[in-house]
Chains A and B, each alone.
Chain A
Amino acid sequence: MERRLQQLFFALSLLALALILAAGWQANTPSWKNYQRSFLQLEAQEEPNAITKAAVLATPPEIHQVLLPGLQRVDRCTTCHLGVEDPTMKSAPEPFRYHANLGPHVSAKFGCTICHGGQGLATDKESAHGKVAFWPNPLLSTDYIRASCGRCHKEGEVPGVPELTEGRHLFETQGCRGCHKLNGVGGSIGPDLTGEGANRRAPEWLERHFLAPNAVSAGSAMPNFHFTKEQARDLTYYMLSLTNEEMGSYFSSLRLIPSPEYGRQLFVEKNCISCHAIGGVGANTAPDLLGVTKRHSIEWLDEQLVNPELVYPGSAMPEYDLETNARKALVAYLASATAEDAQLILSKKARAMTPEDIAIEAGKQNFSRFGCVGCHGTELQGGVANPNAQGGEVPSLLHVSDDYTKDEVIAIIRNGRVPPLDNAAGPTPPLYMPSWKKVLSDEDINRIADYLWSKRQKAKDAW
């Protein structure tokens, strides 16, 4: 018995030795080492002589990582994707292929996962691509990668990603805010979309949802907006970009791309043409701006935009409080601005507006921006289904001035209203008028009322 026990002890100790060796072997042979070996062989092929070949092949294997505290992540993708910044690897097989068109988005500053998704901390293929349980952010397919641009670039147009601009435009004009909050502004009938991009819903789900909300979200009160496939994709891009993440200052300062297109947008927004001319087209209260970048340095022009009085004491030019990249964009536009373009800008400006016109126009903008059009329609026609509400649908507002006083309408906008039930014993209608007094200023609400009343004038004029 004693001998048997000693033999058993010996056997178990040997087993323990074998197990620890197995664990060590398992830890020492991760798949990334194989990828690195293959890559070194590829690199060695291009080496001119045996000595440099051997030097390359002797490179010790190691995990490559990029620390990105500003983006709150660590990316280890380049452990396998070794040719990402090597132009000679243009036609190499994956994972070694060169990543063209990175531009300023070098991996040392941006890593990989901020655009591509996936699990940067991982060092094996399946886990790193995020296609594992409990990693909610898998690799984005090529159809959707460009949506990630919107995670940083939140203002203006993003070159190469018209879907984002279009998606944002659709969101603001189709009335999404009427039911959904975004960054604190909006209704509360549907879920808050502020961090929708971080909810990690599959892009395909989002797209199907825009095409047919009820098919994807059973029982949803969201009406079918009959978007086209392109529009659904644009909106999906916009949703994916809403990650609501905190970024380090370097990244948040990059939100604006200083493109000439954005500069033109600012030129129009700030109404520069009301004082300046370009090539003689425009006003003559301030200097003509044609070719201004050839006469003055970029720094001078930038200073001019920050502090006009510093450069021209007594200048009547207002301080516009523009961000660095916004100023860069304006200057970029001015570098190529022409008189023809100034003509275009001038012609788009409406005739001089009366204060009432301005109020009504502002009210119309509000009506669209805050999402009222989502339920009441872009033509105030109403018609969105609302089961068990009296009338069965969201009312039209074309004749609201006939049924209510202006103060009553203002009160309804401020306090909200639950629609009266068709069948008192039936279910509560899913849609209701939210209360906006906490979201909109009184001035904004009055302007909406002005806008609604302007429709009555039109109707009366029509008689």
Chain B
Amino acid sequence: MNLIREIWQSIVRRDPLSTDKGKSELVFLNVWLHIHPAKVKKENMKFRHTFYLGFITFFLFLILLTTGIALMVYYRPYPAQAYQDMKDLQFAVFMGTFLRNMHRWAAHGMVVCVLLHMCRVFYTGSYKKPRQFNWVIGVLLLLVTLSLSFTGYLLPWDQLAYWAITVGTNIGSYAPLIGGQLRELLLGGHSVGEGALIRFYVLHVAVLPAAMILLTIVHFWRVRKDGGLSRPVWKLKGKQEGLVTIGAPTQAAALQATAASKDKTYGLMEVVTGKPIFETVTLEEEEDTVFSYPYAFVREAVALMATVTTIMTMSLFLNAPLEELANPAKTPNPAKAPWYFLGLQELVSHSAFLGGVVAPALMVLMLLAIPYLDRNPSRRPGDRKLILWLFTIFVAANLVLIVIGTFFRGPGWALVPPWVHVAAGAE
């Protein structure tokens, strides 16, 4: 018995969880959990502040990693075998359909959640100082997510995949100067073929997941360093704006001078940069502070299980599509890009250069520039009406374009409302 206790205590080296020390040690002595603070403010963890979209996106990524690796056992990234392997997964592999469905729906879910998360961060002004660069990392994560979805889209090697990627890479080729080269680099040739498939596969299973993981690490780290999950600071009673500062001790002194007598100022020592981050909290907030275990973890656990069970339920009842084998000689009419690029394809149908190059480039640049162009230090919605309206219009315009591209475009890219049935185009 003592041996068992000894073995256990050599693995689990913290105090029991019934003690405060144990609860803290669970977090900061554990390599997987120590990104969390040992204590959180209840206010930070409110569902309606963030809808846990960041967590959900991350959990979807974990689902994608695990189901993706499982699928790799049965999938060969060569045109002669890829489609057959998809059929084998559907018909001759135990739970092959279920796992593939999990992967597909988690992928679409992740794109949706990452976009919703971006909107939430924008609407709560959580990209403002000192979190500007984390917003930039977030935009990069968005691009990596879209790239992962795009590279994965080709792998089934069916008509849907082949032509969606043909359209997508052709849109990209309109980029000035580098467009043609970029397309050739991606395709390993002049058209989508075995070169494209293996390159997209390597991007999809190795390069892009690595980029995603590296960027995620930085993203989570910065959230911690920037003071944790954002919360509507202006709503707290008696709270003064701007009571978070990164600075030298003199500024800290200034901070202490301006804080109300019942406030406390904490300094989070940054050993690496030598610059302490000071935050002043009210006593109310102090009472609001609880241990991450179990307060934060149970919420994360519920978010995780909700995500997992939703994806599993979808996977039990909805099958991922698989059309005919890719046929370079036969273009389906219409040939559509994946849904998150359909807005772009709609623009491209009007002008290839404006829609394929200018619009996406401007969108990405504007997104990246937001935290630096927005000079308004306030996060209160009442003070930000203009920018909130602009962003809403931007989101709505994108939605409208995607809806048009999905439902209102038929053969020949003609405008055909979805309630009108068009017979499949004759060859």
Contacts and interface: CB of A to CB of B under 8 A. Distances in A.
The answer to whether A binds B is yes
Interface stretch (B118-126, B165-173, B220-228, B291-299): B291-299
Contacts of A122: 87, 90-91
Contact of A2 (B94, B295, B306): B295
B298 A121 contact: no
A27 B98 contact: yes
Interface string B382-413: 00000000000000000000000000000000
Contacts of B313: 19
B91 A12 contact: no
Interface string A50-70: 000000000000010100000
Nearest to A11: B305
Contacts, number: 70
Contacts of A13: 305
B320 interface: no
Given A2-B294, A6-B298, A76-B92, A12 B305 contact: yes
Nearest to B42: A1
A191 B88 CA distance: 35
B324 A121 contact: no
A392 B4 CA distance: 101
Nearest to A3: B298
B324 A2 contact: no
Contacts of B423: none
B301 interface: yes
Q: Which of B159, B294, B302, B323 gathers the greatest number of chain A CB atoms within 10 Å?
A: B302
B269 interface: no
A137 B323 CA distance: 13
A439 interface: no
Interface string A186-208: 00000000000000000000000
A136 interface: yes
Contacts of B309: 12, 15-16, 19
A16 B312 contact: yes
B316 interface: yes
Contacts of A8: 302
Contacts of B91: 76, 121-124, 127
Nearest to B306: A12
A5 B298 contact: yes
Given A2-B298, A5-B302, A19-B309, A121 B87 contact: yes
B92 A63 contact: yes
A354 B91 CA distance: 67
A9 B305 CA distance: 7
B316 A9 contact: no
A227 to B, nearest CB: 23
- Overall SS of chain A's interface: helix
Contact of B305 (A16, A26, A65, A123): A16
Interface string A16-56: 10011011101110000000000000000000000000000
A135 B324 contact: yes
A23 B102 CA distance: 11
Contact of B312 (A19, A74, A127, A135): A19
B315 interface: yes
A134 interface: yes
Contacts of B306: 12
Contacts of B298: 2, 5-6, 9
A90 to B, nearest CB: 29
Interface string B297-329: 011011001101100110110000011100000
A121 B295 contact: no
Given A9-B305, A12-B309, A24 B95 contact: yes
A318 B307 CA distance: 80
Interface string B88-110: 10111011111000000000000
B147 interface: no
A245 B305 CA distance: 50
A228 to B, nearest CB: 27
A123 B315 CA distance: 20
Interface in B255-310: 294-295, 298-299, 301-302, 305-306, 308-309
B84 interface: yes
Contacts of A24: 95
Given A9-B298, A15-B309, A121-B91, A23 B324 contact: no
B95 A9 contact: no
Contacts of A123: 91-92
Interface in A326-376: none
Contact of A121 (B84, B158, B299): B84
A74 B84 contact: yes
Given A19-B316, A26-B98, A27-B98, A134 B87 contact: no
Nearest to B102: A23
Given A2-B294, A63-B92, A134-B322, A23 B301 contact: no
Nearest to B298: A5
Given A23-B315, A135-B324, A121 B92 contact: yes
A12 B295 contact: no
A249 B302 CA distance: 60
Nearest to A6: B298
A26 to B, nearest CB: 7
A59 B232 CA distance: 66
A23 B312 contact: yes
Nearest to B308: A16
Contact of B301 (A9, A63, A121, A135): A9
A6 B324 CA distance: 47
A20 B322 CA distance: 23
Given A19-B313, A63-B92, A76-B91, A134 B308 contact: no
A2 B290 CA distance: 12
Interface string A117-134: 001011110010000001
A368 B191 CA distance: 41
B305 A23 contact: no
Interface in B322-342: 322-324
Given A5-B302, A134-B322, A23 B87 contact: no
Nearest to A123: B91
Nearest to B83: A121
A410 B33 CA distance: 88
A76 to B, nearest CB: 7
Contacts of A76: 91-92
Contacts of A15: 305, 309
Interface in B53-103: 84, 87-88, 90-92, 94-98
Nearest to B312: A19
Contacts of B95: 23-24, 27
B74 to A, nearest CB: 13
Contacts of A74: 84
A22 B316 CA distance: 8
A134 B84 contact: no
A45 to B, nearest CB: 30
A417 to B, nearest CB: 28
Contacts of A119: 87
Contacts of B312: 16, 19-20, 23
Given A23-B98, A27-B94, 20 more contacts: A2-B298, A5-B298, A6-B298, A12-B302, A13-B305, A19-B309, A22-B316, A23-B312, A24-B95, A27-B97, A27-B98, A74-B84, A119-B87, A121-B92, A122-B91, A127-B91, A134-B159, A134-B322, A134-B324, A136-B324
Q: Sort A-B residue pairs by CB-CB distance and give the 6 closest, nearest first.
A: A12-B305, A19-B312, A121-B87, A27-B95, A123-B91, A23-B98
24 contacts: A5-B298, A9-B305, A12-B302, A12-B305, A12-B308, A16-B312, A19-B312, A19-B316, A23-B316, A24-B95, A63-B92, A76-B91, A119-B87, A121-B84, A121-B87, A121-B91, A122-B90, A122-B91, A123-B91, A134-B158, A134-B322, A134-B324, A135-B324, A136-B324
